[in-house]
Amino acid sequence: MKIVSRYLQQEIISHILVIMLALISMFSFFDLIQELDNIGKGTYGMGTALLFVLLSAPGHVYEIVPVAVLIGTLYALAQLARHSELVVLRVSGISMAGLGLILLRVGVVFAILTFLVGELITPLSEKTAQRMRIKATDSVVAQDFRSGLWVKDGNSFVNIEDVLPDAGLLNIHIYEFDPDFRLRMISNAKSGSFESGRWDLHDVTQTSFSNNKIHSQVFAKASWQSMIRPELLNVLLVVPEKMSAWNLYFYILHLSENHQKTTRHEIALWSKMVYPIACVVMVVLALPFGFLQQRAGGISAKLFAGIMLGISYQVLNRLFIHIGLLSDWPPPMSATVPTLLYLATGLGMLVWMERR
C-alpha cells in the first residue's frame, strides 16, 4: 500500500508542478507585455522590467495553485485510466475512499504551499516589485483621490498628497478637531519621515483656531505622534488580496478604531484563510473524473473539463467577492460559499461513483 501511495503521489505531484510551471510562464509573459509601456520612463529598462516580472511571480503562484492542482490531478488520473492502472487498483482492493485519502495528502501539501507563499513570500515580493517600479519610473504611490490619501487618525483627518516608495510623505495636511468636531488646528508640512516611532515633519505651518482668533506659527521641524505607521501605508503598494493575514488583521483593527468601512479587507482576510483549502477541494473534485472518463472521452476531454472547472471556480470566487462588497454580505459568506459549493459537488460525485 505504501508503494502504491508513493507512486500515485509522485505521478500527481509531478503533473501538478508541470502545469504550475506552464501557467506561471504564461502569466509572466503577459506581465512582461504589460510592462513594455513603462520601459523608457526614468531608469526603467528591460532588466528592471524582467526583475519586476520575476518578483510578481509568487503572486501568480498563490493564485494558480488550486487550478494547477485540479488540472494536474485530472491529467494524472487520465494517464492512469488510459493504461488501466486505476482499474487494477480498484480490483486489487483499494476503495474509492482509499484513493481519496492518498490524493488528499497531495492536496494538503499544496494547501500548505499556498498558505506559505501567500503569507510569507507574496506580500514581500509584491511590495518590493511595486517600490522598485515606482522608484525607477520617478512616480509616487497611486492614491484613491486626486487630492491624495485621506486617513482618519483619532480626532484628526490627515491628507497626504504623495507617498514615496520608502514610505516618506510629501505635502501633508492635518486637520485636528476637538471632541465636539469643531476645527481646532490645521498643520501643513512639505515632507515627513518616520523616525524612532514618530513622524518628523519639515517646513511646518500651524494655524490654530480658538476664542474667535486665528494664530499661525512656522517651524522648520516638528514631531507628530500618530497611529499612522509605515506598515499601514504599505497597503497602498499591495492590494488587500495579496497582503498577509497578519497585516490585514491589524489594518482592519485600525479602520475599525476610526469607524471606517472594513468589508473589503475582512473578505480578503477570510479568503486568505479559506483559499488554501481549495487545493484539497480540487483533489476531491478531480477524483470522480478519473473514473467517469474511463469509458468515454480521453485526456483532451479531461484537460478541457479541468480547465473549465478551474476557470469557473475562479470566476465564481471573484463574483461572490464583488457581490458581497456591493450587497454588504457577511464577509465569511462571500469568501467561503464558492469553495463549499465545489466541495459539496465533489463529495456528491464521489458518493454517486461509489454507489455505482
Q: How far apart are CA 55 and CA 116, in angstroms?
A: 16
Comparing 285 with 301, the larger pLDDT belongs to: 285
Cα Rg of the chain, angstroms:
26
Comparing 235 with 239, the larger pLDDT belongs to: 239
Residue 279 inside a domain? The answer is yes
Q: Is the pLDDT of residue 302 over 90?
A: no
| Domain span holding position 76 | 2-137+265-355
Give the burial class of 326: count Cβ atoms within 10 A of its Cβ; 0-12 exposed, 13-18 middle, 19 or more buried: exposed
Q: Does residue 125 sit in the same domain as residue 274? A: yes
Q: Does residue 74 sit in the same domain as residue 118? A: yes
Q: Does residue 9 sit in the same domain as residue 128? A: yes
Per-residue pLDDT averaged across 266-290, rounded?
88
Which of these three, 201, 226, 251, is where a domain ends? 226
Residue 247 inside a domain? The answer is no
Give the burial class of 134: count Cβ atoms within 10 A of its Cβ; 0-12 exposed, 13-18 middle, 19 or more buried: buried
Q: Is the pLDDT of residue 202 over 50?
A: yes
The pLDDT value recorded for residue 279 is: 92
CA angle 268, 317, 151 (to 5 degrees): 25
Q: Does residue 154 sit in the same domain as residue 40? A: no
Q: Does residue 131 sit in the same domain as residue 154? A: no
Q: Does residue 202 sit in the same domain as residue 76? A: no
Residue 234 inside a domain? The answer is no
Scan for cell 486505476, then name that residue: 86
Residue 67 inside a domain? The answer is yes
Q: Is the pLDDT of residue 239 over 80?
A: no
Q: Following CA atoms 219, 222, 228, 230 in sequence, which dihedral angle do they give, to the nearest 10 degrees? A: 110
Q: Are 216 and 206 in contact (CB under 8 A)?
A: yes
The pLDDT value recorded for residue 236 is: 61
DSSP 72-106: HHHHHHHHHHHTTHHHHHHHTT--HHHHHHHHHHH
Residue 254 inside a domain? The answer is no
pLDDT digit string (tens) for 22-57? 999 999 999 999 999 888 888 889 999 999 999 999
Q: Does residue 216 sit in the same domain as residue 75? A: no
Q: Is the pLDDT of residue 67 over 80?
A: yes
Q: Does residue 104 sit in the same domain as residue 46? A: yes
Q: Does residue 128 sit in the same domain as residue 272? A: yes
Count of domains observed in the chain = 2
- Tell me the β-bridge partners of 262: none
Average pLDDT value over all residues in the chain: 84
Q: Is the pLDDT of residue 224 over 70?
A: yes
Nearest one of 53, 43, 45 to 137, comparing CA atoms: 43
Q: Is the pLDDT of residue 292 over 70?
A: no
State which H helix or E strand residue 255 sits in.
Answer: helix 245-257
Q: Does residue 128 sit in the same domain as residue 183? A: no
What's the pLDDT band for 296 if we cut at 50, 70, 90? very low
Q: Does residue 68 sit in the same domain as residue 6? A: yes
The pLDDT value recorded for residue 146 is: 64
Which of 52-56, 178-182, 228-232 shows the highest mean pLDDT? 52-56
Q: Are 80 and 337 in contact (CB under 8 A)?
A: no
Which of these three, 204, 226, 248, is where a domain ends? 226
Scan for cell 505635502, then name that residue: 171
Q: Does residue 160 sit in the same domain as residue 194? A: yes
Residue 348 inside a domain? The answer is yes
Residue 165 inside a domain? The answer is yes
pTM exceeding 0.95: no
Q: Are 170 and 182 in contact (CB under 8 A)?
A: no
Residue 248 inside a domain? The answer is no
The pLDDT value recorded for residue 24 is: 95
Q: How far apart are CA 232 and CA 260, in angstroms?
A: 14
